[in-house]
Structure 1
Amino acid sequence: MNTAMTAAMNVLDAQSLIAAFGLAGILIILFVETGLLFGFFLPGDSLLFLAGVGASGAAAEVFDQPGFHLSLTALLIGAPLCATAGAQLGHLLGARIGPKLFARPESRLFKQEYVHKAEAYFARYGAGKAVVLARFLPVVRTFLNPVAGVLGMRAGQFLLWNLLGGCLWTVGLILLGYQLGDSLKGSIDSYLLPAVVLIIVLSLVPVLIEAIRSRRAAESQ
């Protein structure tokens, strides 16, 4: 398998991304996933969790690189800032460009249904709660930010809830990975894959529930 194909496949592999690009890569990915529409497919949840493991005593074991270690302090400061800045950019684009931002043809990656889901989530939970809760929902956390801008949520109000949600999401998952890495140092290989799979599944459950509710609502009309 050639290098280009391997790199393309590993874009969705958080462990490979961290091993290849380190702290800078983590922060850039967080900014892109929350700030730019094309970043919705990036592995934000597993990336944060594994970044925490990379700051623990099990870092070299997990990433198979002697001496590999991420700074926990840098992660706890940089991750919330980049996630917040990315979402704020998404809100700004929504407010400035408006519907033009979403007036793009359907493609393998972009679907109009993503925008509709974000709008429904915003309408159902209200502005502040939606911005915070969306952090824990893949895809929704990317599209809700510009939707909030399109719907006229004030930048200052958005920033307040954006910062709260960004801190809860990033710090929570980083510390979870850090604690697991330290407590299971030396035997973490047996637990790492199930832990990552569990996080991904839990992050997708609300999305699946919302999809089922939307389908039932459409069928009842």
Structure 2
Amino acid sequence: MDVILESLQYLLHPDWIMKNGGLYLVLLILFIETGIIIGFFLPGDPLLFISGIVIASANETPYPFTDQSINLLFWMTLFTGSTILGNFFGYWFGYKFKQVINIKEDTWFLKRKHIQTAHDFYEKRGAFAIAIARFLPIVRTFAPIIAGTVEMNFKKFAFYNIIGAIVWVGSITLLGYVLGDVPWVESNLEYILIGLVIIVTAPVIIKLYIKKKANN
């Protein structure tokens, strides 16, 4: 566990990312987090924000183009594609291995509480859950798996998968890009990332809490 936590700290440092695979590493992490069970702990929101900062600050070393706007569009497209493929993989896994997903006991890689949280969210939001789950850590990993388990209509799943990926990647990466050159942001990056996660997840959690309270 200590190794995992230490690795996560490294993942939130732009310099470390650039020295260890760069934004190609981010592509891999986004794919794993958005569809593979073991990726639920990965920090997708902060990574997208940091990627925006990296793109905005890539003046001396073009990455890979000389024009920052083209760089931004290029990487946002790749990030979006990576998360879309991740969700498709999650859907396939849920459909193919529903008997594994529906086991009653915890395993070393699969916790029932995570599955149940995603399942409840899916039940309340239906197909729209696939799109909005992008903004919820842990849930975004398990939502496509649950969709495959319940055999959600694939065309509907694909639509919300693509829409959710575009909005999630676009909004957070663009925010990092816009704020990337602000000195205050660079010196307070850890607090910014914590605040980002709170801002992204709070509206959905509050709405679910209010609805649950009203039903009681």
TM-score past 0.5 threshold: yes
Aligned residue pair count? 206
Q: Which runs of 4+ in 1 moved over 4 A?
A: 5-8, 66-70, 206-217
Is the counterpart of residue 172 in structure 1 residue 158 in structure 2? no
Q: What is the SS of the residue equivalent to 1:28?
A: helix
CA deviations on 1:54-112 (whole Å, 9 max, x unpaired) are 0003x58xxxxx84857423311100000000001101111122132343842576420
* 2:156 match: 157
Q: Does 1:123 align with 2:120?
A: no
* Inter-CA distance 108–209: structure 2 relative to 1 (3 Å threshold): farther
User: Distance between the aligned counterparts of 2:196 and 2:202, measured in 1?
Assistant: 10
Q: Provide closer, same or farther for how the CA distance between residues 27 and 177 of structure 1 changes in structure 2, counting only shifts above 3 A.
A: same
In structure 1, the gaps of 5 or more residues are 61-65
Cα distance in structure 1, aligned partners of 2:38 and 2:207: 22
- Measure the CA separation in 2 of the matches of 1:80 and 1:43: 16
Does residue 1:193 correspond to 2:193, yes or no? no
Contact 1:14–1:46 (Cα < 8 Å) also in 2: no
- Extract unaligned runs of 5+ from structure 2: 65-70
CA RMSD, aligned part only? 3.0
* 1:25-68 deviations in Å (ceiling 9; x for gaps): 000001000110110100000000000000003x58xxxxx848
2:53 and 2:95 mapped to 1: Cα distance? 37
- In structure 2, relative to structure 1, the CA distance for the partners of 1:173 and 1:23 (3 Å cut) is same
Residue 55 of structure 2 corresponds to: 55
Amino acid at match of 1:171: G
* Number of the residue aligned with 1:63: none
| CA–CA distance in structure 1, aligned partners of residues 143 and 203 of structure 2 | 15
Identity across aligned pairs (percent)? 29
Alignment CA distance shift 1:12-1:38 (3 Å): farther
Q: Distance in 1 between matches of 2:75 and 2:115?
A: 30
For residues 193 and 68 of structure 1, what CA distance do their matches in structure 2 show?
A: 26
